[in-house]
């Protein structure tokens, strides 16, 4: 498969924009155009297909359900036999259970006891639920079509075809059941099982290499020398990448040296479909990173009009897509969410579903500068009036993971938006299923 577009082409289309303040939406769009989906199929058993990307359309081999069947427990009848406005006696000629159909044919004034899921007996078109049916000891008394004045409130109108599920109403034979590119969730596993499909063609998992850069970083287990911090970014990345269902290639911590960085990037590009690094793209460090990246591949260095976030590198090294995220721990998570996540889903061969913002009422005034997108950590909850409201969690510093951990959502303050007054509606992105 050919690459979607060259980076130079994508970047030149952004030429009208200030490279020191690239709007989030444009950067996302540029990344989307540049990403090339893998196409490398493997067959997996259905029970191992969760979170995989369907590689081929699935055409339904059968009708689901395979027969008209009862949606409720009751009595199967011919609607035409029901009296217009008086209860009427019917003769029971058999029983239909789920998996045990009634073999005969129903004719005038006959009825069959039927259970949910049982095949509709031949001749019957309607099920009357058991709660409405009486017996005189021998015969079955079925209520009339219309609610009768003699028995007010005892039964609703009976409709022809009621409580009957039609053959093929879920999926019909020969029609597409699922399209290639669908991310398989629990519903899709159930749907494929309902078709009797045992093996599924899926894309192989995307291989994603990741590393952290910085002389100050120590790995867990190492002593924390003065001025050093533990490398936390690799662990948020491990978490977020694992949630995406990709294969992880952990390349550890890379010191701030051109040789070490070059070796790590070469190594990553040989093994991986995508490379994610954190740190080393801020103004002070970008120069030598830029030299190396552009010797090994094609990489753009952007300053995104966003907070937290801002510096970010994006491009391709060899065949691998490359995402150079900022170093600050919250900035890593936010740039991953808004730039890397959808890109990796797309590169895996799936179509990312948009994460829908939820409108919430801010319970506090928030300072916001127009001309950049701001992501504020917040706690959303239902207010006394039943309306969703949100308040910010502690410090919004881009290094403060604690306030990220306390939050259950991000307030997404749009590019053009200015200060927020208490009581204003803002967009929130709930973490559920995202982080």
Residue 262 touches which member of ligand AMP, Mg ion, none, C-beta under 5-8 Å by kind: none
Q: Is residue 205 helix, strand or coil?
A: coil
CA–CA gap between residue 92 and residue 401 (Å, rounded): 69
185 neighbors 51 (Cβ within 8 angstroms): yes
Contacts to Mg ion by CB under 5 A: 214, 279, 327
Which member of 326, 337, 375, 392 binds ligand AMP (CB under 6 A)?
Answer: 326
CA–CA gap between residue 322 and residue 265 (Å, rounded): 9
End-to-end distance of the chain based on CA atoms, in angstroms?
32
Which member of 69, 158, 233, 321 binds ligand AMP (CB under 6 A)?
Answer: 233
Burial zone of 336 (CB within 10 Å; 0-12 exposed, 13-18 middle, 19+ buried): buried
Which member of 74, 181, 279, 349 binds ligand AMP (CB under 6 A)?
Answer: 279
Closest separation between CB of residue 333 and ligand AMP, Å?
Answer: 11
Name the residue nearer to ligand AMP (CB basis): 124 or 333.
Answer: 333
Phi–psi pair at 236, nearest 5 degrees: -65, -35
Burial 268-281 (b: 16+ CB within 10 A, else e): bbeebbbbbbbbbb
Closest separation between CB of residue 224 and ligand AMP, Å?
Answer: 12
Residue with tokens 């055409």: 59
Residue 74 interacting with ligand AMP (CB under 6 A): no
Closest separation between CB of residue 28 and ligand AMP, Å?
Answer: 21
Name the residue nearer to ligand AMP (CB basis): 4 or 286.
Answer: 286
What does the block give as tokens for 239?
């978490």
Closest separation between CB of residue 328 and Mg ion, Å?
Answer: 10
Alpha-carbon torsion angle 49, 54, 56, 59, nearest 10: 70
Name the residue nearer to Mg ion (CB basis): 332 or 378.
Answer: 332
Closest separation between CB of residue 22 and ligand AMP, Å?
Answer: 18
Closest separation between CB of residue 53 and Mg ion, Å?
Answer: 34
Cβ-proximal residue to ligand AMP, closest one: 327
Residue 51 interacting with ligand AMP (CB under 6 A): no
Secondary structure (DSSP) of 403-423? HHHH-SEEEEE-TT---B-TT
Name the residue nearer to ligand AMP (CB basis): 79 or 288.
Answer: 288
Q: Is residue 122 helix, strand or coil?
A: strand
Q: Tell me how many helices (H) and strands (E) the chain has.
A: 9, 26
Measure CA 283 to chain center.
35
Closest separation between CB of residue 261 and ligand AMP, Å?
Answer: 12
Closest separation between CB of residue 327 and Mg ion, Å?
Answer: 5
Residue 328 interacting with ligand AMP (CB under 6 A): yes
CA–CA gap between residue 181 and residue 80 (Å, rounded): 47
Closest separation between CB of residue 4 and ligand AMP, Å?
Answer: 29
Which member of 63, 81, 188, 231 binds ligand AMP (CB under 6 A)?
Answer: 231
Which residues, at least 6 apart from 65, have a Cβ–Cβ distance to it below 8 Å? Answer: 165, 166, 167, 168, 169, 170
Segment lying near ligand AMP (by CB under 6 A), choices 48-56, 139-147, 294-302, 327-335: 327-335
Residue 329 touches which member of Mg ion, ligand AMP, none, C-beta under 5-8 Å by kind: ligand AMP
Task: Report cis status (omega within 30 of 0) of the bond before 202.
Answer: no
Residues 201-230 as x/- pattern, contact with ligand AMP by CB under 6 A: -----------x-x-xx-----------x-
What does the block give as tokens for 348?
């895996």
Name the residue nearer to ligand AMP (CB basis): 56 or 218.
Answer: 218
Which member of 95, 116, 232, 363 binds ligand AMP (CB under 6 A)?
Answer: 232
Q: Is residue 192 helix, strand or coil?
A: helix
Instruction: Give the interface with ligand AMP as residue ranges (CB under 6 A).
Output: 212, 214, 216-217, 229, 231-233, 278-280, 282, 285, 326-329, 399
């Amino acid at each position: 498969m050919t690459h979607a577009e060259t980076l130079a082409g994508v970047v030149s289309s952004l030429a009208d924009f200030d490279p020191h303040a690239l709007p989030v939406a444009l950067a996302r769009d540029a990344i989307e155009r540049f990403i090339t989906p893998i196409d490398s199929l493997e067959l997996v058993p259905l029970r191992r297909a969760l979170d995989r990307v369907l590689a081929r359309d699935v055409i339904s081999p059968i009708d689901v359900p395979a027969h008209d069947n009862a949606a409720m427990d009751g009595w199967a009848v011919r609607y035409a036999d029901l009296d217009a406005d008086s209860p009427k006696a019917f003769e029971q000629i058999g029983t239909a259970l789920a998996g045990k159909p009634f073999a005969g044919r129903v004719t005038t004034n006959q009825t069959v006891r039927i259970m949910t899921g049982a095949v509709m007996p031949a001749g019957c078109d309607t099920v009357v639920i058991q709660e409405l049916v009486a017996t005189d000891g021998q015969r079955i008394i079925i209520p009339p079509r219309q609610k009768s004045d003699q028995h007010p409130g005892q039964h609703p109108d009976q409709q022809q075809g009621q409580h009957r599920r039609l053959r093929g109403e879920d999926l019909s034979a020969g029609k597409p059941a699922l399209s290639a590119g669908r991310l398989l969730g629990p519903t899709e596993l159930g749907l494929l099982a309902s078709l009797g499909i045992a093996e599924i063609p899926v894309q192989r998992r995307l291989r994603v290499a990741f590393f952290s850069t910085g002389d100050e970083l120590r790995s867990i287990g190492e002593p924390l020398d003065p001025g050093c911090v533990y490398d936390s970014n690799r662990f948020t990345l491990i978490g977020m990448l694992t949630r995406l269902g990709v294969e992880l290639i952990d390349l550890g911590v890379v010191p701030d040296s051109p040789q070490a960085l070059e070796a790590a990037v070469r190594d990553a590009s040989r093994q991986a479909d995508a490379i994610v690094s954190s740190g080393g793209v801020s103004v002070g460090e970008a120069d030598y990173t830029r030299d190396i990246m552009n010797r090994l591949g094609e990489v753009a260095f952007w300053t995104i009009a966003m907070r937290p976030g801002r510096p970010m590198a994006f491009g391709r090294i060899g065949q691998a897509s490359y995402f150079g995220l900022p170093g600050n721990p919250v900035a890593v998570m936010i740039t991953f969410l808004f730039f890397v996540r959808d890109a990796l889903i797309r590169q895996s061969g799936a179509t990312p579903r948009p994460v829908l913002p939820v409108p919430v009422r801010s319970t506090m005034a928030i300072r916001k500068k127009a001309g950049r997108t701001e992501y504020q950590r917040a706690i959303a909850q239902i207010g006394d009036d039943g309306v969703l409201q949100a308040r910010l969690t502690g410090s919004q510093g881009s290094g403060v993971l604690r306030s990220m951990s306390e939050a259950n959502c991000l307030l997404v303050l749009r590019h053009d938006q200015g200060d927020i007054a208490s009581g204003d509606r803002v967009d929130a992105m709930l973490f559920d299923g995202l982080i």
